[in-house]
Amino acid sequence: MAKGKYYPTEDEKIRQFLKNLNLKLPSYASTFGLTAAQLASVNADYLNFDYWLDQSNLFLTEKEERVSYKNLLHDGPLGTPSSPAPVVPAVAAPPAGILPGIEPRTREIVQQIKNHPNYTDTIGKDLGIIGDEQSVQKSALKPLIKLVQTAGG
């Protein structure tokens, strides 16, 4: 049976995938000949993705609060008391910077692990580097047809 993709596409699932890999990979380092530099890279990738995802979510919320406050000031009924203005949140210092390419770096390490003679499906499942089983019933497949009307036709 075919396997799906192991690397997630949604940010929160990517965070969980990187967290799991970061936590469990050190216990398999000697099994697969992973270097301290590779483990440090996985750790730095996770810490940076986690931090910047949190920052992204924080500033989306902050933007929404500011837009709501601006709209209240602009559109609110006369004589209505204003709510307190949004304050700038305290932001933790970012982790040490990394170069772009978290996914390609992760895929390189995963490929190294999967190509190693000590690799087993049990380890792959523990690390989360095996995609889910994909079952496709050919009888249930339907063709997708798209019709487009153009000028004069």
pLDDT digits (tens, 9 = 90+) for 35-85: 999 999 999 999 999 999 999 999 999 999 999 999 999 998 888 888 899
Of the candidates 19, 40, 39, which has an alpha carbon nearest to the alpha carbon of residue 29? 39
Higher pLDDT, 97 or 145: 97
Supply 38's token pair: 């590779």
3-state secondary structure of 128: coil
Output the pTM of the full model.
Answer: 0.80
At residue 152, the pLDDT reads 73
Mind giving me the DSSP string for 51-64?
Answer: HHHHHHHHHHHHHH
Hey, which of 70-79, 112-121, 140-149 has the most confident mean pLDDT?
112-121
| Mean pLDDT, rounded, of the chain | 91
- Residue burial 47-70, b: 16+ Cβ < 10 Å; e: rest: bbbbeeeeeeeeeeeeeeeeeebe
Q: Check residue 21 and give left, alpha or beta (phi > 0: left; psi -120 to 50: alpha).
A: alpha
Is residue 34 within 8 A of residue 109, CB to CB? The reply is yes
N-to-C CA span, the chain:
45
Higher pLDDT, 62 or 135: 62
Of the candidates 66, 21, 67, which has an alpha carbon nearest to the alpha carbon of residue 47? 21
